[in-house]
Amino acid sequence: MTRPRGDCRMIVLNEVAVHDPWGFGWEALVAIGTLVLAMFTWRLAARTRQLAQETGVGRRTYAAA
Protein backbone atom coordinates (compact mmCIF):
# COMPACT_ATOMS: atom_id res chain seq x y z
CA MET A 1 0.00 0.00 0.00
CA THR A 2 1.47 3.36 -0.98
CA ARG A 3 1.04 6.62 0.84
CA PRO A 4 -0.36 9.60 -1.04
CA ARG A 5 2.13 12.24 -2.00
CA GLY A 6 2.38 15.37 0.11
CA ASP A 7 1.23 16.05 3.61
CA CYS A 8 -2.40 15.01 4.13
CA ARG A 9 -2.67 17.02 7.35
CA MET A 10 -2.13 20.27 5.46
CA ILE A 11 -4.99 19.41 3.12
CA VAL A 12 -7.29 18.77 6.09
CA LEU A 13 -6.31 22.04 7.75
CA ASN A 14 -6.91 23.94 4.53
CA GLU A 15 -10.31 22.30 4.09
CA VAL A 16 -11.34 23.29 7.63
CA ALA A 17 -10.23 26.87 7.10
CA VAL A 18 -12.08 27.11 3.79
CA HIS A 19 -15.38 25.61 4.97
CA ASP A 20 -15.49 26.87 8.54
CA PRO A 21 -14.62 30.53 9.06
CA TRP A 22 -14.60 29.98 12.84
CA GLY A 23 -12.17 27.05 12.54
CA PHE A 24 -9.12 29.19 13.21
CA GLY A 25 -11.02 31.73 15.32
CA TRP A 26 -12.08 29.21 17.94
CA GLU A 27 -8.56 27.82 18.16
CA ALA A 28 -7.22 31.34 18.68
CA LEU A 29 -9.80 32.04 21.39
CA VAL A 30 -8.96 28.80 23.18
CA ALA A 31 -5.25 29.63 22.98
CA ILE A 32 -5.83 33.09 24.44
CA GLY A 33 -8.01 31.63 27.20
CA THR A 34 -5.33 29.07 28.01
CA LEU A 35 -2.70 31.80 28.27
CA VAL A 36 -4.93 33.88 30.55
CA LEU A 37 -5.54 30.85 32.78
CA ALA A 38 -1.81 30.10 32.89
CA MET A 39 -1.01 33.70 33.87
CA PHE A 40 -3.67 33.63 36.59
CA THR A 41 -2.31 30.34 37.94
CA TRP A 42 1.26 31.71 37.94
CA ARG A 43 0.15 34.86 39.80
CA LEU A 44 -1.82 32.81 42.34
CA ALA A 45 1.22 30.60 43.00
CA ALA A 46 3.49 33.65 43.40
CA ARG A 47 1.07 35.28 45.85
CA THR A 48 0.68 32.04 47.81
CA ARG A 49 4.46 31.71 48.06
CA GLN A 50 4.75 35.33 49.24
CA LEU A 51 2.07 34.84 51.91
CA ALA A 52 3.71 31.61 53.08
CA GLN A 53 7.06 33.36 53.45
CA GLU A 54 5.51 36.26 55.36
CA THR A 55 3.67 33.88 57.67
CA GLY A 56 6.80 31.82 58.23
CA VAL A 57 8.83 34.89 59.23
CA GLY A 58 6.13 35.96 61.68
CA ARG A 59 5.97 32.54 63.33
CA ARG A 60 9.76 32.36 63.73
CA THR A 61 9.76 35.80 65.35
CA TYR A 62 7.04 34.85 67.86
CA ALA A 63 8.69 31.53 68.63
CA ALA A 64 12.00 33.26 69.46
CA ALA A 65 10.36 35.79 71.81
pLDDT band at 8 (very low <50, low <70, confident <90, very high): low
pLDDT for residue 13 is more than 70: no
Decide which of 5 and 39 is more confident.
39
C-beta neighbour count of 12 within 10 angstroms = 10
pLDDT for residue 34 is more than 90: yes
> Which tens digit of pLDDT belongs to each residue from 40-54?
999 999 999 999 998
Q: Is the dihedral of CA 42, 48, 49, 50 positive or negative?
A: positive
- How much is the pTM? 0.53
- Residues above pLDDT 70, as percent of the chain: 51
| CB neighbour list of residue 17: distance below 8 Å, 6 or more residues apart | 23, 24
